[in-house]
Amino acid sequence: MQRAGSIVLTLVLATVITFGLQKLVPGDPALAIAGEDATAQRVAEIRADLGLDRPFVVQYLDWLRGAVTGDLGTTIRGDASVWDLIGQRLPATLTLAAVALLFSIIIGVGAGVAAALRHGSKADTAVTAVATLGVAVPNFWLGMVIVVVFGLTLNWLPVSGYALPWEDFAAWARHVTLPAIALGTAGAAEIARQVRSALVEVLRSDFIRTHRAKGLPQRAVVWRHAMKNASLPLVTVVGLQISHLLGGTVVIESVFAIPGIGSLIVQSANQRDYPVIQGVVFVTALLIILTNLAVDLVYRYVDPRIGVRPARRAGLRRAQRGVTV
C-alpha cells in the first residue's frame, strides 16, 4: 500500500516536473507548427487551438485526467495518438536496451570476476584501468568510433537503422550489435568495477574460507557462493544501469538512426510536441519504477537477511562505496 502510494507520487512528480520544464524552456509549439508562415495572429490562433493559452495548472490537470484513464492524447498536431507512437517506438528501444544490458552484464561480470580473482595482479590493474576509462567515455563518442571502425572501414555491420527481432531476426542482429555495444560499454565498465570490488570484499570473508575448508572446488566457491554474496551490489548497479540505458538511448538512437523512444523524445523536444514528451516521460518513469520493483524482488531472493527496503539501501551503500574504491 505504501509502495503503491510512492509509485503514484513518483509518477505525478515526474510528469509535473516535465510539464513545468516544458513551460519554462522558451520556444512555443505554436511557432514550431507555424514555421515560415508565422504571423503573430496565426501563432495566437494555434495557441488557442492547442489550449496553450490556458493556465499551467489547468493544462496539467487536463493532461492528468487523460493519463489516469489511459489516454495520453495525440501529438500536438493531432496526427497520431501518443500511445500508438510510443507503441511503435518502444520495441526498438526495449530490444536495444536488453541487448546492451546483456552485453554489460556478460562483459562486466566476466571482467570483474577475472580481476577480483587476480586481485592486485597486472590483469586486475588492466581491468580497473579499462573500466575507469569505460565509465568515463561518452557513449556517443564511442558510438562514432565503432561506426567508423566496424561500419565504414571494415564494413562488417550497418551504421544506421534498425529492425525488430520478430520481423527479421538476422537484420536485427546486424543492426543491434554496434549500438548495443556503444550503449552497454559504460554499463559493462561500471558493473566490472562493482563486481570486482564487491567480490574482492566477499573473497576476504570468513565464510569463503569456511567453504574452502570444506573442500569445495574453487569454481563452486567463486561462482556459487562468492557471486551470490557479491550480487547485492551487482543487482543494484544493474538496476541503475537500466535507468542509464533508457537515458542513453536518447543519444545512441540518434547516432544510429534507430526509431525508438529515445529519438522520439529528441524529435518531440525539437518540435515542442508537449503531449509526446509528456507521454514518453510517463512511460519511461513507469518502466523505471517497474525496474526498481523488480530489483527489490531480486534483492529478496539474493539476500535472505534483510527486508526489502533496508536491502535496497544497503545495496546502494555498497554500490556507492564500490565507486570510491
Residues making contact with another protein (CB under 8 A): 25-29, 31-43, 75, 77-80, 85, 88-89, 120, 144, 147-148, 151-152, 155, 158-161, 205-207, 209-217, 220, 225, 228-229, 253-257, 259, 263-264, 266-267, 270-272, 302-305
Q: How far is the CB of 179 from another protein (least distance, A)?
A: 11
CA atoms lying within 13 Å on the CB side of residue 93 = 29
Q: How far is the CB of 167 from another protein (least distance, A)?
A: 12
Contact 47, 54 (CB under 8 A): no
Contact 92, 176 (CB under 8 A): no
Beta bridge pairs of residue 81? 74
Please identify, using beta-carbon distances, which residue of 3 and 20 lies nearer to another protein.
20
Beta bridge pairs of residue 74? 81
Eight-state DSSP code of residue 151: I
Please identify, using beta-carbon distances, which residue of 11 and 85 lies nearer to another protein.
85
Q: How far is CA 184 from the centre of its chain?
A: 10
Please identify, using beta-carbon distances, which residue of 7 and 90 lies nearer to another protein.
90
Q: How far is the CB of 78 from another protein (least distance, A)?
A: 8
Environment class of 94 (CB within 10 Å of its CB; exposed 0-12, middle 13-18, buried 19+): middle
Q: How far is the CB of 300 from another protein (least distance, A)?
A: 11
Q: Which of 103, 88, 133, 98 has the alpha carbon at shortest distance from 264?
A: 88
Please identify, using beta-carbon distances, which residue of 266 and 316 lies nearer to another protein.
266
Q: How far is the CB of 302 from another protein (least distance, A)?
A: 7
Q: How far is CA 162 from the centre of its chain?
A: 18
Q: How far is the CB of 97 from another protein (least distance, A)?
A: 17
How far apart (Å, rounded) are the C-alpha atoms in residues 15 and 12?
5
**Maximal C-alpha separation, the chain:** 84
**Neighbouring residues of 185: CB distance < 8 A, sequence distance ≥ 6:** 103, 104, 134, 137, 139, 142
Please identify, using beta-carbon distances, which residue of 105 and 255 lies nearer to another protein.
255
Please identify, using beta-carbon distances, which residue of 8 and 161 lies nearer to another protein.
161
Please identify, using beta-carbon distances, which residue of 43 and 97 lies nearer to another protein.
43
Q: How far is the CB of 149 from another protein (least distance, A)?
A: 12
Q: Which of 22, 90, 42, 16 has the alpha carbon at shortest distance from 269?
A: 22
